[in-house]
Amino acid sequence: MRRLSSLLFLAGLVTLIIAIFQPLPVGTATPAVGTAINHAAPEQVGAANLVTAVVLAYRGFDTLLELTILFTAAMAAGWVLDKPRNEARPDPDAGFILLAASDLLFPLLLILGLYVILHGHLTPGGGFQGGVVLALAFFLPLLARPGRRIDHQLFSLVEGLAGAAFIGIGLAAMLNGQAFLAPLFGTGELGALFSAGSLPLLYIAVGLKVGSELAGLLAHLAETEAVG
Amino acid sequence: MDWLLLLLVSLMLGCAIAVFLLDNFLAALAAYSVVSLVLSLLFAFLRAPDVAMTEVVVGAALGSLFFALTIRRLGLGQTGDES
């Protein structure tokens, strides 16, 4: 009965969404801002990946607020979760498949994460995606060997330093007489690894911050006592 | 191309409906991560590789992991032989 009612509710929701979107001219709008950015960004910012140009150069302040939101969420989750009980016996090691896979995948995930972060201004991806890959890389060994504890203080230190570096680069632009978080060091050659000014540095800071934050949160969640 | 998109969208819809029809929480979680994976494929087809990457990393990997850990924490995982 409950399932039937939830299906009915879903059908009603779909009908409502269709009714709302029917009169909207989907797909015919002229993206004025997008076209302008497409034309201006290669010369102004020098990032081959235009998404990065928008995220870090044109909307750098939004990215800072996004990091703040993530930080607040992780902090709140850390408060809500219990402290790990030291006397409780940890779970035994995982099976052979997970153990072998975690040993095999850890370096590969590490390289993939760093590649995605460092090439954020050239190819799709960037600090957020690469940071999550890094977090998963550090969490995988913990999943295979639950008895192991990670160094939370080290992760907090990396996270704090990365966040401070992001703001520091933004303040350096202000010292230079530009707006907060404006790109520094010129644009460089379009498509080269060392190009787009301070954008790669900003993305490294974002990647380290996101990675250490999420790895700490996942480890915290895994360390709390399992019920039942 | 269109039939492929249609296939993917119907797969996604089927998995999304399966999420709240399944009794086993872990099975529902698997269906949920399939939704995310197919969605990231759709994003890649729509030439949004950045969004596709975010979706596969955050939606499929991290989101499923968070849900899995939460299910374990709440003791809702009905995995059969192990407690």
Q: Take residue A141 and report the two structure tokens written for it.
A: 């060994």
- pLDDT-wise least confident of A4-18, A82-96, A190-204: A82-96
- Rounded to a whole number of angstroms, the CA Rg of chain A reads 22
A157 occurs within a structural domain: yes
Q: Are A179 and A143 in contact (CB under 8 A)?
A: no
How far apart CA A117 and CA A49 sit, in angstroms, is 12
Domains contained in chain B, number = 1
Q: Which residues in chain A have their CB less than 8 angstroms from residue B49's CB?
A: 124-125
How far apart CA A25 and CA A156 sit, in angstroms, is 47
A86-102 pLDDT tens trace:
555 666 777 888 888 88
Q: Which residues in chain B have their CB less than 8 angstroms from residue A132's CB?
A: 57-58, 61-62
CB contact under 8 A, A124 and B49: yes
Residue A13 predicted with pLDDT over 90: yes
A124 occurs within a structural domain: yes
Q: What is the mean pLDDT of residues A60-81?
A: 86
How far apart CA A69 and CA A13 sit, in angstroms, is 29
Residue A228 predicted with pLDDT over 50: no
The answer to ipTM > 0.85 is no
B38 occurs within a structural domain: yes
Q: Take residue A180 and report the two structure tokens written for it.
A: 């907060």
**Model-level pTM?**
0.79
Which domain does A135 fall in, by range?
2-223
How far apart CA A95 and CA A89 sit, in angstroms, is 18
pLDDT of residue A102: 87
B83 occurs within a structural domain: no
Q: Are A88 and A225 in contact (CB under 8 A)?
A: yes
Which residue in B25, B45, B50 has the most chain A C-beta atoms within 10 A of its own C-beta, making it the best mutation to test that interface? B50
Domains contained in chain A, number = 1
For the beta carbon of residue A167, count every other beta carbon within 10 angstroms: 14
B44 occurs within a structural domain: yes
Tokens 């016996």, residue located: A89
Residue B78 predicted with pLDDT over 70: no
Which domain does B60 fall in, by range?
2-74
For the beta carbon of residue A85, count every other beta carbon within 10 angstroms: 10
**CA end-to-end span of chain A:** 29
A173 occurs within a structural domain: yes
- Smallest CA–CA distance from A109 into chain B, residue: B57
SS3 of residue A89 by DSSP: coil
B82 occurs within a structural domain: no
A228 occurs within a structural domain: no
| Segment of A33-42, A140-149, B41-50 carrying the highest mean pLDDT | B41-50
Number of Cα atoms under 13 Å in the Cβ half of residue A39: 5
The CA distance from B37 to the nearest CA of chain A, in Å, is 15
B67 occurs within a structural domain: yes
The CA distance from A204 to the nearest CA of chain B, in Å, is 17
- Break chain A down into helix, strand, coil percent, rounded to 5: 65, 0, 35
State the burial class of residue A204 (Cβ atoms within 10 Å of its Cβ: 0-12, 13-18, 19+): buried
Q: What is the mean pLDDT of residues B37-60?
A: 89
Q: Take residue B8 and report the two structure tokens written for it.
A: 């993917």
State the burial class of residue A224 (Cβ atoms within 10 Å of its Cβ: 0-12, 13-18, 19+): middle
